[in-house]
Amino acid sequence: MAVAAALGSLGAVALGTFVVSLLLRWLWDALVAVTRFRATCRQLNKFPTPPWRNWLLGHTGMGQSTEQGLQQVDTLVARYRHGCLWWGLPWLPVLRLFHPSTLRPLLSASAFVAPKEKTFYGFLKPWLGEGLLLSGGQRWARHRRLLTPAFHGDVLRNYLGIFNQSTRVLLAKWGAAAVAAGGGPVEMEVLQHLSLLTLDTLQKCIFSHESHCQERPSEYIQAILELSSLVVRRQLRPLLHPWWLYRLSSDGRRFARACATVHAFTADVVQRRRQALTRLGHQAWLDSHRGRSMDFIDLLLLTKDENGHTLSDEDVAAEADTFMFEGHDTTASGLAWLFYNLASHPEHQERCRQEVQKLLAGRDTADIEWEDLSQLPFTTMCIKESLRLHPPVTAVSRRCTEDIPLRDGRVIPKGVICLMSIYGTHHNPDLWPEPEVFNPLRFSPENSKGRSPSSFIPFSAGPRNCIGQSFAMAEMKVVVALTLSRFVLRRDTARPPPCRKPELILRAEDGIWLQLEPLVGVA
C-alpha cells in the first residue's frame, strides 16, 4: 500500500512537472514570437500605411475584386507611388508594392528566397498537383530546367499551324453568325469565345487531341471551365477555405468530380504514351514520330535531367494540367481586352489591319507563319499596351524566407506577405504618364529606351516568370492578325464601358461585348 501510494505520488509529481514544462515552453515560444513580430513591425513602420477601419480590423474588407477595387489601387498608387503597408488583421501585415524600386529585389531573388505565398495557391493543389505553378525548392528548380526546352522557339514554331487552324474555326463561327444576322455587324461576348479558342489550341499542342470544343460541348473542357469558376467562388467565401468544410459542401463535391474528369483524361494520355515509348524503345519511338511535330506530352516524356532521370507519369500529368490552366484563361483575357482596346481606338485598329494586309499581300495562303511574327511591329506594340492597361493577372504574391533589403535602406522582413501589384505598377504615373490612356507608341523602340524592365511585368519577371510567355505572345499575334484580316471590331456605344473584375484573370462584370462586322470583299 505504502509503495503504491509513493509511486502514485511520484507519478503525480512527474505529471505536474511535465505540465509545467509544457506551459513554460509555450510561454517561451509565445515570448519569442511576440519579440520577432515586434521587430517585424519596427521594420514595417517605415512603409506608409493608408487610413484603415480601426486597430482591430485594420484594412479588412477595404480591398475588393471589383471595378471600385481597381480604382482604389489607382488612388493608392497615385498617393504612395512605391508601395504601402496593408493590415488584413492585427497580425497579418501585407506589403503592396507597385514600383521597380520595391519590386526588383523580389523579382530578382531566387525562387528559394522569394517563393510564392501559398494561402490562395493552395486551393489549386488538388487540381494541379506539384506542377511549376505550385511547387517550390529543388523540385521546382529541377522541373523548370526540364521544361524550358519545351518552350524554345524551335518547338513553338511547330505550333503556328495549330494557332491558325483554331483561329479559323472561331472566325468561321463568327462569319456564320454575321450571315445569319443579314451580313451586318453581329454582337458577341468575346471572352467566352476566346476561352474556347485557347482551350482548343492547348489541347492540340499538349495532347494532340482534337475535341472540337469550339463547335460542340466537351466534358474535359467543361470540367476545366468549372474548376476555374469554383476556385474563384471558394476564394470569395472564407467559410469554405478549410479543406474539411469544403469537401462537405456542394461546391467541394463538384470540384472533386471535375478534378476526377480532368485527371482521368490526362492520366490516360500520359500512360498510353509511356507504354508506347517503353514498348518501342527510345529510338524507334522517335522514328515513329518523324514527319510530324511532337506535342508537349511527348517532349516531357523524353526529357532527362543531368543524372539521366526522367519525369514520372505524375510529374508529366501535373505539368500538363498546369499548362492547360495557366495557358487558357490568361491568353483569352489578354486577347479579349486587346480586342476591346482596338475597338475603342479605330485608328490603331486600322493601322494594325494595314500592317497585316501588307504582310499577307500576294500570298496563296492567309496563314501567319513563324517568320511573320517579327514583321508586325505596330501590332506587337498594341498587344503590349493592352497588357499594360489590362494585365490578365493583376497581382502575384510572395512570402520571403529571409529579409530583403531595399536600396533606400528599408527592409522587407522575412515571412511578410508581399503583394506585387502588376496592375498598380502598370498604372503608376511615375512610370507611365497618363496611365489610363491607350497609347501603343509607349512601346516604340525610342520610347522604350531606359525603361526599367520591372515597370512592365504582365508575365511577372525574374526566375519565376511565366515560362509560357513566348507561346502566349505568338498565339495572340496570330489570333489578332487573322481576326483583323476578316472583321472590323466596334464597341456598342449603347452599352456602358465594362466594369473590370479581377479574379483568377481580369474579366468584366457582364462580359466584354463587341460588334463584329465582316470586312467587305473578304471571303
- 70, three cell numbers: 481597381
6's grid cell: 509513493
CB 468 within 8 Å of CB 147 = no
Nearest-10 Cα torsion for 152, 449, 383, 495:
160
Joined together, the cell numbers standing for residue 522 give: 473578304
List the beta bridge partners of residue 518.
Answer: 487
Count Cβ neighbours within 10 Å for each residue of 155-186 and write b for 16 or more, e otherwise: bbeebbbbbbebbebbbebbbeebeeeeeebb
State the burial class of residue 322 (Cβ atoms within 10 Å of its Cβ: 0-12, 13-18, 19+).
buried
Hey, is 506 helix, strand or coil?
Answer: strand
Amino acid identity for residue 325 in this structure: F
Cβ(256)–Cβ(234) below 8 Å: no
451's grid cell: 525603361
466 is in an annotated binding site: yes
**Contacts of range 3-9, beta carbons closer than 8 Å, 24 or more positions apart:** none
Burial class (CB in 10 A: 0-12, 13-18, 19+), 248: exposed
Which residues belong to the annotated binding site for heme? 466
Q: Detail the residues annotated as belonging to a binding site.
A: 466
